[in-house]
Structure 1
Amino acid sequence: MTAAMTCAPAPETAAKRLGPREFVVLMAFLQALQALAVDSMLPALGHMAADLHLQDANQRQLVVGIFLIFGGLGCLVPGTLADRYGRRRVLMASLGFYIVCTIGCALVTNFWQLLAMRAILGFTCAGLAVLPAAIIRDWYEGDQMARLQSMVAMVFMVVPMIAPSIGQAVLLVASWRWIFGVMAVLAGLVAAWTWVRLPETLHPEYRQPIQFGPLMRTMGDVTANRAAFGYVFGMALIQGALFGYINSSQQLVAEHFGAGSRFPLVFACMASMMAMTNFVNARIVERFGARRVSHTALLVYICTSAVQLTLALYEAETLYRFIAVMTVNVCLMGFIGSNFASISLQPFARTAGAAASAQSFIRMVLASSLGALVGQAYDNSARPLAFAMVATGALALLLVLYSEHGKLFRRLIPPGAPRPRA
C-alpha cells in the first residue's frame, strides 16, 4: 500500500503526515459519522415518537428517511467544491456543519423542527460520504482502489455495529436528545484528527473552476458513460433495499419479531458479518477482480432474496430465520458495494471529485427515496422488504449486463499492469 501512495500529490509530505493504516481508519471514521447519524437513532425512534406526540407509527421512520434523502441531494455539491478548493477545506466545513446541526437537533421542541434540522444536517454533511471516495481515487486506481475501499468499509462497519448500542446506552441514563450530544462530541474529535493529520490530496494541476456548465456535463458524463451507468444505478437499487430495512428495522425486528432490547445486538451481529465480508473482499479482489467478485455476489443475492420472500409469503419466518437470511444478504451487499463504487469511478480520473459527487447524488437520492417508500410500506410483516430485495436485485443485474455488454465475470487489466499470479 505504501508503494501505491508514491503516486499521490506531494507524496513525501503525505507519507510523513499520514501512514497507510491511519489513512484507512480516518477515511472510515469520516464516512462513519453519517452512519452514526442514522444507526444511533434506531433504538430511540419509539421514544422520539412518544415525546413528540406522533400518531402514525410509521412517521418515526422519517427521522432516518429525511436525513438520507437530503444527504443524497447534498452529494452534488461537495465534490465540485473539492475539485476547486481541495478536499481538506470542504471536509472541515462538512464536519463543522455536522457539529452545529447535531446540537440543533438536540434542542428542537417538536417533530417537524426535528425533521427540518435532520434535513439540514443531511445536506450540509454530505461531503463526509462523498469526499473519502475522491481522496482514495486521488491515490489509488483499479482493483487496488477496490481493495482499499473494502478495507475502509471494513473499519467503517465498526460504527454500525456499535451505534445502536450507543443510542441504547444513552437512553438508559438520559433523554434521546443526548444521543445528538454524543454525535457532536465524536464529530469534534474526528475534526481535530483531520485538521492535524490529513494533507491535501488533490493534485494542483487537477483543480477545476466552479462552473455550472462543467458540473452539468459531469452529471451527463456519469449518466451517459455506459461503463459506469449500470453500476451507479444498480448500486442505488441495492442500497435502496438496504435503506428500506434500516428505516423499518426497529419496528420489524424489535417489535414484529419481538427482539425488544436485543435489537442493538441483532444489528451489531449483522454489521460485524458485513465487516468480515469487506475484509474478505479486500483480500481477494486484486486476485479475482472487482467484476468477478461483485457479479457473483449479485447473483447469490438475488437467490437469497428469493428465499427471504418465500419465507415471508408463507408466514414461515421467525426472528432467527429472518436474521440468518438477512445477514447473508447484508454480507453480499458488502461484496457488491465497494466493488461497484470502484468500477463506476474508473472512467473519471481527472474529475474524480465531481464524478464521486454526481454518482453519490444519484445513488443516495434514488436509494433513500426507494428506502423511504419501502419503509412506509411496512405492514407488520417482512413482505414489503422481501419484495423490494428481489426486485432491486433483478433490476441491478439487468443494469450490470447493460454496462458489460451482456457479459459477466470479465477481468479488465489496465495496459502494462502486472497480471495476477495463478
Structure 2
Amino acid sequence: MAAPLEHPPATETARAWNGPGFAEFVAIVALMMAVTAMSIDNLLPAFPVIEAHFGLSDPNRAQLLVYVYMIGFGLAQVVYGPVSDTYGRRPVFLASLALYAAGCALAMAAPSFEWLLAARVIQGLGAAGGRVLSTAIVRDRFAGREMASVMSLIMMVFLIVPMVAPAVGGLMLSFGSWTYVFVSMLVLAAVLAVWFTARMPETLHPEYRRPLSLSATGQAVMLTLRTRVAIGYATALGLMTGCIMGYVGSAQQLFDTGLYRLGPLFPLAFGLVAGAMGTATLVNARLVRTLGMRTLSHAGTAAFVAVGLVQVGLGLAYAGKPPLPVFLAVLSLNQFLISFAMPNFNALALQPLGSIAGTASSFLGFYTTMLGASCGYVIGAAFDGSTLPIGIGYAALGGLALLVVAWTEHGKLFRGGVSG
C-alpha cells in the first residue's frame, strides 16, 4: 500500500544527521545542480567551431545543442523522483551520473551534427538526476523559510558556474578541438561521483519510501496537480525559466560572433550577467528568513516585468542595438531580479509536498523544464540580430508569471504566511 500523503511534521528538520556539515552539504548539492549549467554554458564558445566542423549554414541551428539537451533533461525528471522515492537518493543519482558520462563520451565521438544532438539528449537524460535529486535531498532535510534560504545559497554557488563555464570552454578549445569541451564535463562528473559517494548519506526518510508502481506515482502526481500552490508556482517558475533559456540560447550570438562581436571577451560579458544572479541569490538567502518567500518573489517578479519593458524600450530606441554598457546594465538588473523569484518559487511549489518530495520534485521539474525550454526556444529562434527578442520575451513571460502567481494566491500578492 502506498505511503500516506500527509504533509511532513514541522519537526522533520530536527532529525539526527550524520552527513557533511552545512557548508559542505550546500557545496555538494550545488555541484549536483552545476552539472546542468556546465553542460550548457561551457559549450557556448564552441558554437562557431561546431558550425564550421559540421557545415551548418544557419547559426541559429547551433542553439539546438541547448534545447535538445533540455528536452532530455526535462523528460528524464519524470523517472528519477519516483524511482528515488523507492530505492533512495544515492543509488539513483550515481546511476544518473553514469548515463551523463556515457552521453559525454558519445558526443566526443560524434561523426555528424545529428549524432551530436542525440548525444546531448543522452547527456540531458543523465543530468536530470542531479536536478531532481538535489532538490529532493534539500527537501528531505529542510522545510519552509529555512529550505528557501538553503536553496538560495545553493543557487548562489550554482550560479558561479556560468561565470566561469564559458572561460573553461574557451580554454578547452585552445587545446585544438571542440571535443575537449566534453572532457571538462567528464572531469566534473568524476569529481562529483567521488565526493558524493564518500560524504553524502541517504537522506530519504524510511517512512517516506513509496512502492514503485504506476498507482503510487499517479496518486502522488494527482496530489501535486490538485495542490494549487504547487502547480501555480511551478508554472510561474517554468515561465521565468523560459527567460533564462532564451537568453542562454542567444548569448553566443548576442555577445560573441553576432550583435556586439566581443570575441574573446564573451566569457567576461556572460560572467558579469551571471554574477548579478549570484549576488541576488546571496541577498535573497539573507532576506527570506525575515521577509518571507512570497514577499520577495512577488516583488522581484513585478520589478522584473518593469525592467523587461525598459529593455523593449531601449531596443526600439536604438534600432535593436543599445550601447553595450547600457544593455549589460539593464540585462544584469533583470537577472538580479529573477533570482528573487526562481529559488523562492521552487521552494513554495515543494513546500506542501514533503511526504512525496522525490516524485513531486520529479514531476514539477519535468513540467517547469519543458515549459521553460519551449518558451526559451521561441525566444532563441526569434533572434534577428537585435536585442528586441530578449526584451519582448522577458516582459511577456514575466507578465504571464505574475498573472499566474496572482491566480495562485487568489489575488493577494506580497503577503507571506507563517511558512512563506
TM-score range, shorter chain: over 0.9
From 108, 111, 114, the equivalent of 1:112 is 114
- Comparing 167-176 with 323-332, greater Cα deviation is found at 167-176
Question: Do the aligned partners of residues 12 and 325 (structure 1) sit closer, same or farther apart at CA in structure 2, a change above 3 Å counting?
Answer: closer
Which residue of structure 2 aligns with residue 69 of structure 1? Answer: 71
Which residue of structure 2 aligns with residue 378 of structure 1? Answer: 383
Q: How does 1:210-289 map to 2 (within 5 A)?
A: 210-254=212-256, 255-289=258-292
Deviation at 1:50, TM superposition (A): 0.4
Of all paired residues, the percent bearing the same amino acid is 38
Q: Could you give the per-residue CA deviations for residues 125-150 of structure 1, whole angstroms, max 9, x where no partner exists?
A: 21111111110001100001000000
Work out whether residues 98 and 121 of structure 1, in 8 Å CA contact, stay in contact via their aligned partners in 2: yes
Question: TM-score scaled to structure 2, two decimals?
Answer: 0.94
Runs (5+) with no aligned partner, structure 2? 1-9
Q: Could you give the per-residue CA deviations for residues 344-369 of structure 1, whole angstroms, max 9, x where no partner exists?
A: 10110110110001111100001011
Deviation at 1:31, TM superposition (A): 0.4
**In 1: Cα distance, 2:157 partner to 2:199 partner:** 18
- Comparing 315-324 with 176-185, greater Cα deviation is found at 315-324
Deviation at 1:9, TM superposition (A): 9.0
Q: Could you give the per-residue CA deviations for residues 374-417 of structure 1, whole angstroms, max 9, x where no partner exists?
A: 11111111111211111111111110011111001112115xx9
Query: What is the count of residue pairs matched by the alignment?
Result: 408
Which residue of structure 1 aligns with residue 5 of structure 2? Answer: none
From 79, 95, 107, the equivalent of 2:81 is 79
Q: Does 1:293 align with 2:296?
A: yes
Q: Could you give the per-residue CA deviations for residues 297-343 of structure 1, whole angstroms, max 9, x where no partner exists?
A: 01100000000011112226122211111101111111111100000
**In 2: Cα distance, 1:388 partner to 1:214 partner:** 38
**In 2: Cα distance, 1:125 partner to 1:215 partner:** 22
The list of structure 1 runs, each at least 4 consecutive aligned residues, that deviate by more than 6 angstroms after superposition, is none
Work out whether residues 234 and 400 of structure 1, in 8 Å CA contact, stay in contact via their aligned partners in 2: yes
- Comparing 5-14 with 188-197, greater Cα deviation is found at 5-14
Work out whether residues 9 and 201 of structure 1, in 8 Å CA contact, stay in contact via their aligned partners in 2: no
SS of 1:412 mapped into structure 2: coil
Which residue of structure 1 aligns with residue 346 of structure 2? Answer: 341
Q: Give the partner amino acid of 2:89.
A: R
**In 1: Cα distance, 2:241 partner to 2:123 partner:** 20
Work out whether residues 78 and 362 of structure 2, in 8 Å CA contact, stay in contact via their aligned partners in 1: yes
Q: Could you give the per-residue CA deviations for residues 154-184 of structure 1, whole angstroms, max 9, x where no partner exists?
A: 1111111100000011112221100101110
- Comparing 142-151 with 320-329, greater Cα deviation is found at 320-329
Deviation at 1:12, TM superposition (A): 4.4
Q: How does 1:26-41 map to 2 (within 5 A)?
A: 26-41=28-43
Work out whether residues 99 and 125 of structure 2, in 8 Å CA contact, stay in contact via their aligned partners in 1: no
Which residue of structure 2 aligns with residue 420 of structure 1? Answer: none
Runs (5+) with no aligned partner, structure 1? 418-422
**In 1: Cα distance, 2:275 partner to 2:223 partner:** 36
Q: Does 1:305 align with 2:308?
A: yes
Work out whether residues 222 and 355 of structure 1, in 8 Å CA contact, stay in contact via their aligned partners in 2: yes
**In 2: Cα distance, 1:91 partner to 1:408 partner:** 37
Which residue of structure 2 aligns with residue 100 of structure 1? Answer: 102
Work out whether residues 101 and 117 of structure 1, in 8 Å CA contact, stay in contact via their aligned partners in 2: yes
Work out whether residues 8 and 201 of structure 1, in 8 Å CA contact, stay in contact via their aligned partners in 2: no
